[in-house]
Each structure stands twice: as structure tokens, then as C-alpha cells.
Structure 1
Amino acid sequence: RLSSLGMSDNTFVNEISDAENNNKWRKKNEKRYGDACEAVVMAQEEGKPAEEINHLTNTAADQKFKVWLTAFVAENASDKRDAIMKKDL
């Protein structure tokens, strides 16, 4: 389950750069972040080894960054679209 949370950084950036797919990726990354946070809590409650908890915590941090990056890319795409529309007027 947790191995499906990640993907290569290049693939991630290429996928979210398409403005039409950005909302889909935002929702997917928010879910992955939520899942990763739940996994950390479960591991702590179950008394898993610190190494495993640290790995899950790093996975959650990576997913949080991807949520932030998706929002940044969406804002950038919106700014570019606005600039193009101003030129067309």
C-alpha cells in the first residue's frame, strides 16, 4: 500500500505541468498525503520500530511537498493563462 504512494520526481512534475490534469493530481496527492499521515499514526500506535516510523514520516513529508508543488504549478499556470488573455484583449 505505501509503496504506491510515491513516484519519480520527473514523472510527477511532468504530470502536474498539464493544467487540465492539475486538479486531478491535487486531489490524488492530498489523498496520498492523508494516507501517509494515517500510516505514521498507525505505526506509532502499533509500536513499530523507529526506522519504520521515520521512513513513513519522510514519505508523508514528501507527499506534503507534492501537494504544495501541485498548488504552485496551478498558480503559475493560472498566471500564465491570465497574461495570455490580457494580450488577447
Structure 2
Amino acid sequence: NVVLNAMDAMPRGGSLTIRRRYVGNQVELTFADTGSGIDPGNLTRIFQPFFRTKPTGTGLGMGISRTIVESFGGTIAVVCSPGQGTTFTVRLSAMK
């Protein structure tokens, strides 16, 4: 869902950088796009069920994504700069 939303945010092209690194006993995945960013007024609502900014879709994708990540004991966070892009960070326990 994060990747699809990033693609939607860059209709004229751009880049999506996906990185993985280990932080202690966790693996951290970052998804950084160069899209339009998320309106600051919407930032706190993006994980709420049925919240959407597009005319299509159910508004469930990001909420379901967070539920899945949290069910594995992880976290998902977002930071953005409107007009400059958005970065999602997912942290999960690393498998040994």
C-alpha cells in the first residue's frame, strides 16, 4: 500500500527509494518518495479507517498496513514535507 500510494503521488514521475538497515534487534525499512507530500492537516488522519484523499479506494489501506505491522510488534511512522515528498518508516523485530 505504501508503494502504491507513493506511485500515485508522483503522476509525472519521480523516485521511490526503499532502504533497509538494522537498528539493534530490529530491521528498519524506509520508503521515501519525491511526490507531492501529504497535506499537514491530513497527516494525523492517514491511518484512520475510511480516510482517503483520492476519489477511488476504500480508505482502508494505510489503517490495515498499520494493523499488520503492529500485529508483528512493529511500528510505522510517517514524515513529510509538502511538495517535497513523504517518508514512511517501518520497524520490525529482526529474525535470527
Q: Same fold (TM over 0.5)?
A: no
Larger helix proportion of the pair: 1
Which has the greater radius of gyration?
1
Larger strand proportion of the pair: 2
Tell me the TM-score normalized by structure 2.
0.28
